[in-house]
Amino acid sequence: MRLIIMGPPGAGKGTQAQILVEKYSIPQLSTGDILRAAIEAKTPMGLQAKEIMARGDLVPDEVVCGIVSERLDGDDAKGGFVLDGFPRTIAQAEELDAMMTEKGIALDAVISLEVDADALVARIKKRAAESGGSRADDNEEVLRNRLDVYGELTEPLIAYYAKQGNVKHIDGMASIEDVTASIAQELNK
């Protein structure tokens, strides 16, 4: 199963991606997690990404496309994967299409988690409180920027993939269990 899970910050992508990992025995390829690990390890890529991520802006397309291309070639991704946090721009989506064509693989579905903006702010504030501030980008001002960036650059991808005919619209406002159930139902159609 080759999947993309998309949705605004706080939509529950990571939670549902983990469930898909278990269900289909596929890896979760999270560009956010990979970048945070690079920051932690103080690699050159991490140093480049650190300030950008702390502001809630997007890391350059070449950087994240490089990460994904490398991960798609990993042995664990041969049988499928769930991309979480990528693509985030039309340019990234076009690059992903090119990479997949070159590798002779195709997406099975794009899962779009749909939630309203007020709920997102509340969820992220809760996550920030619970994580004890471990993520530099979980504060209100940065969150608003991340939501703006999402609306401007990432949301247009839903229409991009709708044209390809593989978007599954999921109501992300339901409970975790119900969201999981509606994803399962859509993927089994």
Active-site residue set: 13, 88, 127, 135, 146
The CB density around residue 39, as the number of other CB atoms within 10 Å, is 18
What stretch of H or E contains 23?
Answer: helix 13-24
Residues paired with residue 109 on neighbouring β-strands, in sequence order: 3
Interface with ligand ADP (CB under 6 A): 9, 13-14, 31-32, 35, 52-53, 56-59, 64, 85-86, 88, 92, 137, 146
CA distance 109 to 1: 8
Q: Which is nearer to ligand ADP, 46 or 80 (CB)?
A: 46
DSSP state letter for 129: H
Q: State the nearest-atom distance from the C-beta of 189 to ligand ADP, in Å.
A: 26
CB nearer ligand ADP, residue 27 or residue 32: 32
Give the residue closest to ligand ADP by C-beta.
32
Q: How far apart, in Å, are the Cα atoms of 165 and each of 107, 176, 178?
A: 11, 26, 24
Q: Closer CB to ligand ADP, residue 34 or residue 109? A: 34
CB of 143 to ligand ADP, least distance (A): 9
- Least distance in angstroms from the C-beta of 130 to ligand ADP: 14
Residue nearer to ligand ADP on the CB measure, 14 or 46: 14
CA-CA distance, 137 to 146, in Å (whole number)?
Answer: 9
Q: Where are the beta strands (DSSP E) in 95-180?
A: 109-114, 167-171
- Shortest reach from residue 160's CB to ligand ADP, in Å: 14
